[in-house]
Amino acid sequence: MTIRNPATGEIAGTLTPTSLFEIDAAVARARAAQPAWAALGLDARAALVKGAIESLKSHGAEMAALVCAEMGKPLEEAIGEASYSTDGLAQEIDEVVEALRPEVLEDEKTSTRLLFDALGVAAAITPWNFPILMPSQSVVPALIAGNTVVLKPSEVSPLSADVWARCLMAVLPANVLQIVHGDGLQGSELVRSAVDLIIFTGSRATGASIMREAANGLKRLILELGGKDPLIVLDDADITAAAAFAVRNSFRNAGQVCVSTERIYVADKVADAFTAAVVEGARALKQGDGALAATQVGPMASARQKKVVMDQLRAAIADGATCLFGECDGETASDGNFIRPTVLVGVTHAMSIMRDETFGPVASIMRVKSDDEAVALANDTPYGLGAAVFGSAERATRVADQLTAGMVGINRGCGGASGSPWVGARQSGHGFHSGKYGHRQFAQVRSVSRAR
């Protein structure tokens, strides 16, 4: 596997793909290692995983540089991602431990202990857009719950995940964590293998195919899938703040974030001022190689992803959308893997750009006549990951409470307070992670009862 920097075309690194025959053998080794790992107990397992933190920190700069080189993320954002999975790891581990401690329930007659046991062997299959964070959020709770894990990172950005996993593997007992490399072939082989739990983050289409295959062994699933997140701007919103959020959340990581703003519904009364501010914000962004200090927006991670976005953009323009800034020429496009931050108006729900996940730097703005129309349009999607509403507190809360999304932000992004789950509703997820209830999905709950 030769991994190229999507900004420059230079080779970022190489890795050997795992032979398909080797995958069953890796799962068998994980199976053999699992009982002893589980028998260590919750606190000992957590202590062993924490033992990797110093090594992860010392590899933080290397991992951030690799993220920047392998998928084009601006270096500052890559450093933030690495730090989340190194400096932030101790707190994450403590939260998982607390979630998995036995819990006692009692009524007048019965005392019940809820125990959280390992499920067995877990497969963790991750996407390219957060190459360290996604493995970390999938693997760490699974390990602490007493599972052994076989990780397969994305073939687009496996280099930083390889460094991350090797830091852990160096401090864990043999075969408690293993890493395999490759694309969908290795991924589907892992899904078919004798694993008990599949932790998948990626596209809805791949999630659906994993679910079909997993039905054969009734394997447990945690699927974190794509989104088509709406942003609603009410007519009493702080327009400067709403536009700043729209720019940040549409163009961060070149739009390659599962909770990017993908659709904007803005009240007629404030639409002109809001749209002008979004265009100004897009114009001000510096685009280029993520390794350069000034860069705020990098390239698409791959030519394949650029094609997805350009096809949607061109179809929208051909069907009557107006491009105010960015890739407005239906014929040509920026060089290489780059797509300029682009602002569209005059879009409709008949267009793929308002229906399908774009995963690119496009702000698509639609005018609405009422709060009810905004809610109806925002909910007109099979997805349900994040959403945001900008407006006065009371009205924005009323609108937010009607949205069919797993995570909603009011006058801010959708991420919750520490301890909140990361959860997609509808076809954006099946199972979820983080927070007490998310951590518990990596374990089998067992209730043991006696008379009081």
- Measure the CA–CA gap between 139 and 78, rounded to whole angstroms: 19
Question: Does 420 contact ligand NAD by CB under 6 A?
Answer: no
Planar angle of CA 26, 27, 29, nearest 5 degrees:
65
Q: Which residues contact 428 (CB under 8 A, 6 or more apart)?
A: 204, 224, 225, 226, 227, 383, 384, 385, 405, 406
What's the min distance (Å) between Cβ of 442 and ligand NAD?
Answer: 15
Active site residue 95: no
Does residue 5 bind ligand NAD (CB under 6 A)? no
Minimum CB distance to ligand NAD, residue 172 (Å): 22
155/140 Cα distance (integer angstroms): 21
**Closest distance between ligand NAD and the C-beta of residue 252, in Å?**
13
Largest CA distance in the chain: 76
Q: Is 71 in the site for ligand NAD (CB under 6 A)?
A: no
Give the gyration radius of the chain's Cα atoms: 23
Q: How many residues line the site for ligand NAD (CB under 6 A)?
A: 31
Q: Does 159 bind ligand NAD (CB under 6 A)?
A: no
Q: Which entry of 77, 95, 224, 357 is annotated as an active-site residue?
A: 224
Pairing of strands 103-106, 110-118: antiparallel
Residues 196-225 that bind ligand NAD (CB under 6 A): 201-203, 206, 209-210, 224-225
- Binding ligand NAD by CB under 6 A: which of 131, 290, 413, 424? 424
Q: How far is the CB of 351 from ligand NAD (least distance, A)?
A: 19
Q: According to DSSP H, which parts of 182-251 are helical?
A: 184-192, 204-214, 239-251
Burial of 276 (0-12, 13-18, 19+ CB in 10 A): middle
Name the strand (E) or helix (H) holding 220.
strand 220-224
- CA dist 292 → 288, 337, 360 (Å): 7, 16, 20
Active site residue 76: no
Residue 230 in the binding site for ligand NAD (CB under 6 A): no
If the CB atoms of residues 243 and 258 are measured against ligand NAD, the closer one turns out to be 258
The verdict on 49 binding ligand NAD (CB under 6 A) reads no
Is residue 162 near ligand NAD by the rule CB under 6 A?
no
Which residues belong to the active site? 224, 258
Could you list the residues that contact ligand NAD (CB under 6 A)?
A: 125-130, 134, 152, 154-155, 183-184, 187-188, 191, 201-203, 206, 209-210, 224-227, 258, 357, 359, 385, 422, 424
